[in-house]
């Protein structure tokens, strides 16, 4: 690894020469060189060290020794990540757990659902399908049941995480993104469809909000909450559990499509039609709820009442494009509008000025690989080249496929006082390794998942890859692909297949140069968002509500942006709950993240034994939640978020079921909320049934890092009042 001296050199910000990218590259005053040895191995050298890379089974033959050697280095990294046992201090007391699988990285010697699934989807299924399957199977679990419960069933695990894991985070469906590539093995395929049905059914019961047509839960991968969510979520994640994330909903869309295909193959056309209808409705809801015309991008997440957040993430946008959720002009606009810097593209934008470097102010190679994939889908040569070179540069500079890099310098660590980082940075991080392998096989040679060879190679990369040559070649164990240049490039900016010929396992693809719309990279965006304000101060006056504002704030009421207000503005009181939040807007027009909400209006508080009783005085929609405390684990991890199902019986109407989530807390706070309807005069009875959390999965009997593990399932909280408030019309989504 590079020494701290090199990191300092990278951070110094020296003028950046245009790299030649053949025998090496130059970046911020540092020169890195790759040489080919006599036995087919490589040596990567930099001013303060070197790495010897043995000859590998798979090879690329291009004009760039750097490109060729880094492909060999990625295979060597993958070999080091290929283990026979894994371990984590929170499982089996840190003892090794047998598993012929991939560990997540040098500093992360375990298997995590999210990391592995993205890495497999980026191509590890191609390089070691058996080990990929083993790792995915490790993340399946049967249910360990309380006495008298229904029969056990298999489903995908949500790993330990924010507020006690699922359903604060619900992106475990990413498992199916990886599993879809490995269905050729019969025993594994037999496990996938039942797990998919069970996982989707459970997420729909506890995380789907029919009002919005979306699944609740945290952004996928961006799970260090205060890095990308408002700072006030550091100690209270209920707002995250209540919110909707672009990436997580796109992953559900993909899982529903897969379920439709598998249902049909299992002879169940009715279930297939149902899954297709759910997927189509979800796609429509994503496009309706997350798209912002003013930014020409999809928001990273929105609040539980639909409140927009001026926040964006590259993985969510890339997945929206590659999944087909984003189509046509909207797909092109979303990627073109997402900003980038010379070193690469940040995983979130805008950055947080008050947070250290990790997801914030950072490049993650695996996300860059998904951006590259999205750019290929929409024929964007500038973005293809930019992401490919960012992935290459990071691997070359540090002699390994690192977890992440600082955004402006692509340094593995930047000294910035309390904001220094990346806070954690592991060599041979599995999804970064997969990113480099994908950049070569898919990004350059055009290998698709279905076996088709569809190169989309920017002509700007021809000098690096071809030099004075006519051909470049990828050699895999069972397949060889050669790309051949056309006689002239003309004014083309993208090389695509003209025709191909195959002899045995060797395919020769003759390229042709075409001219496509070349979206310029967005390089002029401001870096930081403004810091968010405190919750609005709302005072009752004779004719309404007065808000305390400082002149720089924008106020939202029940999720909708209000017109400009000042200290003299009085907001009319309405029957029902009125919830105010605030943002600050800077000189660039960027909004901060939302403040906590201040809600006003009459609220009924009902205690006592269950069932609890209440009578509606007005016909309408009501919000319902619990006051509770859950001290079964810290805010940032664990598996014991309490999940209950509130059964609401009003008069002779059918019972209404409202899932309520009570994450780990620091004392008493409000749970997530749900809604029910009642007519004036209805007598309503409320019962609280047990729900489900991750501690009910048999796999977590190995969890020794907290409650709900080896000591047995735990799905409980200290529950106080049931609270009910009439919803004002603005609280009810259209």
pLDDT at residue 48 in the model? 81
pLDDT at residue 40 in the model? 93
Is 165 within 8 Å of 664 (Cβ atoms)? no
Q: Is residue 412 included in any domain, yes or no?
A: no
Kindly report, residue by residue over 230-257, the tens digit of the pLDDT. 999 999 999 999 999 999 999 999 999 9
Indicate if the alpha-carbon torsion angle 291, 294, 299, 301 is positive or negative.
negative
pLDDT at residue 11 in the model? 44
Q: How confident is the model at residue 359 (pLDDT cuts 50, 70, 90)?
A: very high
Q: What is 356-409 written as a DSSP string?
A: -SSSTTEE-HHHHHHHHHHHHHTT-HHHHHHHHHHHHHHHHHHTS--S-EETTT
Q: How confident is the model at residue 545 (pLDDT cuts 50, 70, 90)?
A: very high
311 φ/ψ angles, rounded to the nearest 5 degrees: -145, 140
Examine the pLDDT at 149 and tell me if it is beyond 80. no
Indicate if the alpha-carbon torsion angle 82, 85, 90, 94 is positive or negative.
negative
Q: Is residue 402 included in any domain, yes or no?
A: no
Same domain, 251 and 375: yes
The label of the residue with tokens 């999940």 reads 643
Examine the pLDDT at 10 and tell me if it is beyond 80. no
Is 563 within 8 Å of 584 (Cβ atoms)? no
pLDDT at residue 363 in the model? 98
Number of domains in the chain: 4
Could you tell me the CA-to-CA distances from 67 to 46, 52, 60, 174, 636 in Å, in that order? 16, 15, 8, 30, 39
Distance of CA 256 to the CA centre of its chain: 17
pLDDT at residue 13 in the model? 39
pLDDT at residue 486 in the model? 97
Same domain, 108 and 173: yes
Q: Is residue 614 included in any domain, yes or no?
A: yes
Q: How confident is the model at residue 14 (pLDDT cuts 50, 70, 90)?
A: very low
Examine the pLDDT at 95 and tell me if it is beyond 80. yes
Same domain, 367 and 279: yes
- Mean pLDDT over each residue of the chain, to the nearest integer: 94
Q: Which domain CATH number covers 285? A: 1.50.10.10
Kindly report, residue by residue over 51-71, the tens digit of the pLDDT. 999 999 999 999 999 999 999
End-to-end C-alpha distance for the chain, whole angstroms: 54
Rounded distance between C-alpha atoms, residue 367 and residue 388, angstroms: 11
Same domain, 462 and 508: yes
Instruction: Choose among 376, 314, 211, 303: nearest CA to 582.
Output: 303
For 191, the enclosing helix (H) or strand (E) is helix 186-207
What percent of the chain has a predicted confidence (pLDDT) above 70? Answer: 96
Rounded distance between C-alpha atoms, residue 286 and residue 335, angstroms: 16
Same domain, 574 and 623: no
Which range, of 20-24, 229-233, 399-403, 580-584, averages the lowest pLDDT? 20-24
Q: Which domain CATH number covers 708? A: 2.60.120.260
CB contact set of 405 (below 8 Å; sequence gap of 6+): 343, 344, 362, 363, 394, 411, 412, 422, 425
Same domain, 618 and 545: no
**What CA dihedral angle connects 222, 225, 229 and 235, to 10 degrees?**
170
Kindly report, residue by residue over 284-328, the tens digit of the pLDDT. 999 999 999 999 999 999 999 999 999 999 999 999 999 999 999
Examine the pLDDT at 12 and tell me if it is beyond 60. no
Identify the domain containing residue 552 by its residue range: 531-584
Examine the pLDDT at 8 and tell me if it is beyond 70. no
Q: Is residue 434 included in any domain, yes or no?
A: no
State both tokens at 494: 């993208």
Examine the pLDDT at 19 and tell me if it is beyond 70. no
State both tokens at 294: 């003013």
- Domain stop point among 371, 386, 401: 386
Kindly report, residue by residue over 457-499, the tens digit of the pLDDT. 999 999 999 999 999 999 999 999 999 999 999 999 999 999 9
Examine the pLDDT at 3 and tell me if it is beyond 70. no
pLDDT at residue 7 in the model? 46
Q: How confident is the model at residue 6 (pLDDT cuts 50, 70, 90)?
A: very low
Q: How confident is the model at residue 130 (pLDDT cuts 50, 70, 90)?
A: very high
CB contact set of 280 (below 8 Å; sequence gap of 6+): none
Q: Is residue 407 included in any domain, yes or no?
A: no
Rounded distance between C-alpha atoms, residue 163 and residue 217, angstroms: 11
Q: Is residue 187 included in any domain, yes or no?
A: yes
Q: Is residue 594 included in any domain, yes or no?
A: no
Q: What is 226-243 written as a DSSP string?
A: HHHS-GGGGS--HHHHHS
What percent of the chain has a predicted confidence (pLDDT) above 90? Answer: 91
Strand pairing class (506-514; 155-156): unpaired
Rounded distance between C-alpha atoms, residue 194 and residue 271, angstroms: 13
Same domain, 540 and 498: no
CA angle 257, 258, 262 (to 5 degrees): 120
More confident residue, 548 or 76: 76
The label of the residue with tokens 């040489």 reads 35
CB contact set of 711 (below 8 Å; sequence gap of 6+): none
Same domain, 230 and 377: yes
Q: Is residue 274 included in any domain, yes or no?
A: yes
Same domain, 276 and 367: yes
Rounded distance between C-alpha atoms, residue 252 and residue 125, angstroms: 21
- Domain stop point among 350, 369, 386: 386
- Domain stop point among 386, 408, 433: 386
Query: What is the mean pLDDT of the segment spanning 83-91?
Result: 98
In the three-class reduction of DSSP (H, G, I as helix; E, B as strand; rest coil), residue 315 is classed as helix
Same domain, 580 and 612: no
Same domain, 341 and 483: no
Same domain, 200 and 326: yes
Examine the pLDDT at 446 and tell me if it is beyond 80. yes
More confident residue, 657 or 1: 657
Instruction: Choose among 399, 405, 391, 510: nearest CA to 441.
Output: 391
């Amino acid at each position: 690894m590079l020494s701290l001296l090199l990191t300092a050199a990278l951070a110094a910000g020296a003028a950046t020469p245009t790299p030649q990218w053949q025998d090496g590259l130059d970046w911020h005053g540092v020169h890195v060189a790759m040489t080919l040895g006599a036995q087919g191995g490589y040596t990567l050298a930099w001013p303060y060290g070197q790495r010897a890379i043995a000859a590998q089974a798979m090879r690329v033959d291009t004009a760039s020794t750097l490109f060729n050697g880094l492909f060999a280095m990625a295979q060597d990294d993958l070999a080091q990540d290929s283990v026979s046992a894994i371990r984590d201090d929170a499982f089996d007391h840190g003892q090794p757990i047998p598993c012929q699988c991939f560990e997540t990285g040098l500093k992360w010697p375990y298997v995590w659902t999210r990391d592995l699934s993205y890495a497999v989807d980026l191509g590890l299924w191609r390089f070691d399908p058996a080990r990929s399957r083993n790792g995915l199977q490790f993340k399946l679990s049967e249910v360990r049941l309380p006495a008298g419960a229904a029969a056990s069933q298999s489903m995908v695990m949500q790993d330990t995480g924010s507020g006690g894991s699922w359903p604060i985070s619900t992106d475990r469906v990413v498992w199916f993104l990886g599993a879809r590539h490995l269905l050729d093995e019969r025993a594994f395929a037999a496990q996938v469809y039942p797990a998919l049905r069970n996982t989707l059914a459970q997420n729909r019961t506890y995380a789907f909000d029919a009002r919005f047509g979306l699944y609740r839960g945290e952004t996928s991968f961006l799970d260090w909450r205060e890095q990308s969510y408002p700072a006030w979520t550091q100690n209270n994640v209920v707002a995250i559990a209540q919110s909707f994330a672009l990436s997580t909903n796109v992953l559900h869309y993909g899982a529903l499509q897969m379920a439709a295909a598998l249902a049909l193959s299992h002879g169940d056309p009715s279930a297939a039609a149902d899954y297709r209808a759910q997927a189509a409705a979800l796609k429509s809801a994503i496009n309706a709820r997350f798209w912002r015309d003013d930014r020409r991008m999809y928001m990273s997440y929105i609040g539980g009442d639909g409140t927009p957040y001026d926040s964006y993430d590259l993985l969510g946008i890339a997945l929206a494009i590659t999944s087909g959720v984003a189509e046509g002009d909207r797909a092109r606009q979303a990627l073109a509008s997402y900003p980038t810097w010379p070193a690469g593209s940040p995983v979130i934008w805008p950055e947080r000025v008050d947070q250290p470097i990790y997801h914030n102010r950072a490049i993650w190679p695996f996300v860059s690989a998904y951006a590259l994939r999205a750019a290929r889908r929409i024929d964007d040569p500038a973005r293809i080249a930019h992401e490919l070179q960012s992935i290459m540069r990071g691997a070359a500079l540090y002699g390994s496929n690192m977890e992440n890099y600082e955004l402006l310098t692509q340094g593995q660590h930047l000294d910035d006082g309390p904001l220094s980082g990346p806070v954690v940075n592991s060599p041979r991080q599995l999804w970064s390794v997969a990113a480099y392998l994908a950049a070569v096989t898919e990004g350059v040679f055009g290998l698709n998942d279905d076996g088709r060879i569809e190169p989309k190679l920017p002509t700007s990369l021809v000098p690096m890859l071809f030099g004075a040559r006519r051909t470049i070649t990828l050699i895999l164990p069972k397949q060889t692909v050669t790309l051949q240049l056309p006689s002239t490039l003309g004014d083309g900016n993208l090389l695509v297949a003209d025709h191909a010929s195959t002899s045995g396992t060797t395919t020769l693809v003759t390229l042709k140069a075409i001219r496509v719309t070349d979206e310029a990279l967005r390089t002029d965006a401001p870096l930081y968002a403004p810091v968010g304000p405190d919750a609005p101060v709302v005072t009752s006056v004779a004719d309404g509500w007065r808000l305390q504002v400082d002149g720089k704030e924008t106020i939202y009421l029940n999720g909708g942006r209000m017109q400009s207000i000042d200290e003299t503005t009085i907001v009319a009181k309405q029957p029902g709950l009125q919830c105010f939040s605030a943002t600050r807007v800077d000189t660039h027009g960027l909004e901060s993240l939302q403040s906590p909400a201040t809600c006003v209006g009459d609220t009924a508080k009902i205690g006592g034994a269950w069932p609890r009783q209440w009578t509606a005085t007005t016909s309408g929609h009501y919000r319902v939640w619990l006051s509770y405390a859950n001290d079964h684990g810290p805010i940032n991890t664990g598996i014991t978020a309490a999940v209950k199902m509130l059964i609401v019986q009003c008069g002779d109407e059918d019972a209404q079921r409202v899932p309520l989530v009570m994450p780990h807390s620091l004392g008493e706070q409000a749970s997530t909320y749900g809604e029910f309807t009642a007519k004036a005069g209805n007598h309503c009875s409320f019962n609280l049934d047990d729900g489900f959390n991750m501690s009910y999965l048999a796999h977590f009997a190995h969890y020794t890092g907290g409650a709900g593990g080896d000591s047995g399932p735990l799905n409980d909280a200290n529950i106080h009042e049931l609270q009910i408030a009439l919803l004002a019309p603005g609280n009810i989504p259209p």
